[in-house]
Structure 1
Amino acid sequence: MTLRPGPVDVHAHWLPEDLFRLPPGSPVPPLNGRDGQLHLGDLPLSIETAAMSDAARVLADTEAAGLGARVISAPPFAFPVSDAPGVDDYVGAFNEELTRVCRDSGGRLLGLGLVSLHDPDEARKQIEAIAATGVVRGIAVPPLLGHTSFDVAPMRDVLAIAAENDAAVLVHPMQLPRPEWSSYYLTNLIGNPVETATAAAALVLGGVLEELPALRICLLHGGGCAPALVGRWQHGWNQRGDVRSAQTRSPREGFTDLWFDTLTHDGPALELLRAHADPAHLMCGSDYPFDMGVERPLDLPHAVGIDDAALEHNARRFLGLTEGENRV
């Protein structure tokens, strides 16, 4: 496939209206559009329905943001976190429509598909089908499945299949509710960064990165609060046998294998991420079209000295695209 040159936004969402029903067993009510505005059940999301579902609108907003291309994936509501009957059909329908939209985009959209998270055998078939499309470059998954993360089955198995098929993995939090976060949007403002940090710890301390050296996995929103915790993890790893029980490299070393977007909402936070991460693993992210996203996702990386050439190069490597090829 060919991809238009320019910085690539790896963190953007899209879902066709015919899949607003969400996967079987979803813990949240279906999406719906009312008077042009998107709702989750009766909850308004402050998102225009077209921005989530209309590929032409996504392309227009991509142009307005000064981007070469965007990588679209399902919003976290659409993650198939249940093993209810019919999940495989929903996943297949999304991946099929995603493939079509990306192929019709003139090199401006790539995709990250869904997989049946509870069924590694089915996930293998889905990832192999995704890999054959050329335009769907990997998968998007939540950081937690029930009370587990990537260090144990089935999520660990899914990552192994992705690595085996050279598929990129994008990790987006689910905004899981807790009673103490019931006010002030704290499920997002605190919950999302904590979910992501939990996933980072599972990867770094659980031996996943040592087992799967080919894995390319990106933690969104700048890794949540994980960059602020790397020193604490390192101290625990130095002092305690249980922290070292998976016989991993040190947390500081393991952290450099992870990939991140630059959506930290704050320059000093992005600088902290740069201090711990591999600079070649930082990519532009917008969280389009959510209210916690930004219309100009290049502004923050530019402000700390990350230029468009680096953002494009890093994203192409993450997506498994050859630098000299796949350009319009």
Structure 2
Amino acid sequence: MSFSPVIDVHAHILTEEMMARMRREAPEIGPTLTEVDAEGGVLTVGDIVQRPFPRGGWDLDRRLADLDIAGFDLQVLSNCPQTFLYERDAALTGALCQIQNEAIAELVARHPDRFLGIATLPMQDPARAADELRRAVTRLGLKGAQIGSHIEGRNLDHPALEPVWATAAELGAFILIHPQKAAAGDRTKEFYLKNLIGNPLETTIAAASLVFGGVLERYPDLRICLVHGGGFLPFQTGRMIHGWKERPECRRFITESPEVSIRRLYFDTLTHFGPALRYLTDTFAADHVLLGSDYPFDMGTLEGARQVRAAGLDRPAEEAILGRTAGAWFGIKAAAGAAADA
């Protein structure tokens, strides 16, 4: 019997080679690694400090070993969110995006049996971002892009971003939306709430903006995946529908129930909770749920494939989540093997 490869669609990378190229372009931004030990180090990008930055973020040998431990056949490489740099000059961010995108494409070319890649874009300049998305897909062979949950306070339905959505729809690009600079920062400083609550909140705001701003109604075929199980949005779908029925503000830009647009979205599996994963599949169907690990960060997991198999889903649903849906998008053929049973 043939099986689709197991594909992790949510994984970040910033190798030492990538850092060195970026430092040459922008010494004041970095990135730099310090306090390195066997498990990780401290990553500094401009005034952003990521502690810890696990070793798999830059060490390919460690990453490949971890992929084997996790049972992932392929991993979709994306930039680390610390390098979005939407607050910087657009030309400089654009140059640093090109460096990262070219480096990711090189990694894919060197390890085509283990890696796919998506781009990062200078979203503060939508025309430049659309051009880089087109270059990344048509010239570098990347499969789409990862973008932040907002652009320095501008939500993703902002009219200026229309060139990005139009280009993504035209290219059939995979768009991974990742939280950054989370809302309610002053109230989430303690207990790691900036991540535990702040990141899912960011994803929820981003998704709701796309829905109520009409982006998904205008571009119904966009392939947009929300990380961290879609934040809080999947579990508040009924509230969104009720609001649309009751409040005129919710109907300004959409003519159909928000449920229609919400069902066009995709969600990764990173819920850390079996009942939540079952809710996603029961509510939105397994072909709208994709395996995601958030590798290499501490809120990620290498247990994702095993968690999917332990969720009590039927075999077609398991296969859709673990790789069949993503593989069809990315042109990956199913092959005989034991990965799906590992």
TM-score by length of 2: 0.85
2:167 is aligned, of 157, 161, 164, to: 161
Q: Is the 8 A contact 2:8 2:75 kept in 1?
A: yes
- Measure, in 2, the Cα distance between the counterparts of 1:102 and 1:322: 14
- The superposition leaves residues 168-189 of structure 1 with CA deviations (integer Å, 9 ceiling, x where unpaired) of 1001111436111111111101
- Measure, in 2, the Cα distance between the counterparts of 1:44 and 1:61: 21
Find the counterpart in structure 2 of residue 309 from structure 1: 319
- The superposition leaves residues 172-226 of structure 1 with CA deviations (integer Å, 9 ceiling, x where unpaired) of 1114361111111111011000000011111221111111122100000000111
Question: CA distance change for structure 1 residues 151 and 219 in 2, over 3 Å: closer, same or farther?
Answer: same
- The superposition leaves residues 126-157 of structure 1 with CA deviations (integer Å, 9 ceiling, x where unpaired) of 11221124641010001111222221133343
Q: Which amino acid aligns with 1:315?
A: A
SS of corresponding position for 1:35: coil
SS of corresponding position for 2:41: strand
1:246 is aligned, of 233, 247, 253, to: 253
Question: CA distance change for structure 1 residues 30 and 168 in 2, over 3 Å: closer, same or farther?
Answer: same
1:54 is aligned, of 59, 80, 97, to: 59
Q: Percent identity?
A: 34
2:41 is aligned, of 34, 38, 42, to: 38
> Superposition pairs for residues 116-265 of structure 1, below 5 Å?
116-133=122-139, 135-176=141-182, 178-265=185-272
Find the counterpart in structure 2 of residue 71 from structure 1: 76
- Measure, in 2, the Cα distance between the counterparts of 1:72 and 1:303: 26
Q: Aligned-pair RMSD on alpha carbons?
A: 2.7
SS of corresponding position for 1:243: helix
> Superposition pairs for residues 286-297 of structure 1, below 5 Å?
286-297=293-304
- Measure, in 1, the Cα distance between the counterparts of 2:152 and 2:226: 18
- Measure, in 1, the Cα distance between the counterparts of 2:327 and 2:255: 28
Give the aligned length: 321
- Measure, in 1, the Cα distance between the counterparts of 2:283 and 2:149: 20
Find the counterpart in structure 1 of residue 15 from structure 2: 16
Q: Is the 8 A contact 2:207 2:233 kept in 1?
A: yes
> Superposition pairs for residues 96-111 of structure 1, below 5 Å?
96-111=102-117
- Measure, in 2, the Cα distance between the counterparts of 1:320 and 1:6: 12
Alignment gaps of 5+ in structure 2: 338-342
Residue 105 (structure 2) pairs with residue 94 (structure 1): no
Q: Which amino acid aligns with 1:243?
A: C
Q: Is the 8 A contact 1:166 1:320 kept in 2?
A: no
Larger displacement relative to structure 2 (183-192 or 4-13):
4-13
Q: Is the 8 A contact 2:11 2:295 kept in 1?
A: yes
- The superposition leaves residues 54-76 of structure 1 with CA deviations (integer Å, 9 ceiling, x where unpaired) of 23332221122111111110111
SS of corresponding position for 2:304: coil
SS of corresponding position for 1:171: strand
- Measure, in 1, the Cα distance between the counterparts of 2:32 and 2:69: 26
SS of corresponding position for 2:249: coil
Q: Is the 8 A contact 2:43 2:53 kept in 1?
A: no
Q: Shift of the alpha carbon at 1:30?
A: 4.3
Find the counterpart in structure 1 of residue 276 from structure 2: 269
Q: Is the 8 A contact 1:52 1:289 kept in 2?
A: yes
Find the counterpart in structure 2 of residue 80 from structure 1: 85
SS of corresponding position for 1:154: helix
Question: CA distance change for structure 1 residues 320 and 10 in 2, over 3 Å: closer, same or farther?
Answer: same
Q: Which amino acid aligns with 2:177?
A: V
- Measure, in 2, the Cα distance between the counterparts of 1:29 and 1:192: 24
Moved over 6 A (4+): 21-25
- Measure, in 2, the Cα distance between the counterparts of 1:196 and 1:155: 17
Q: Which amino acid aligns with 2:41?
A: L
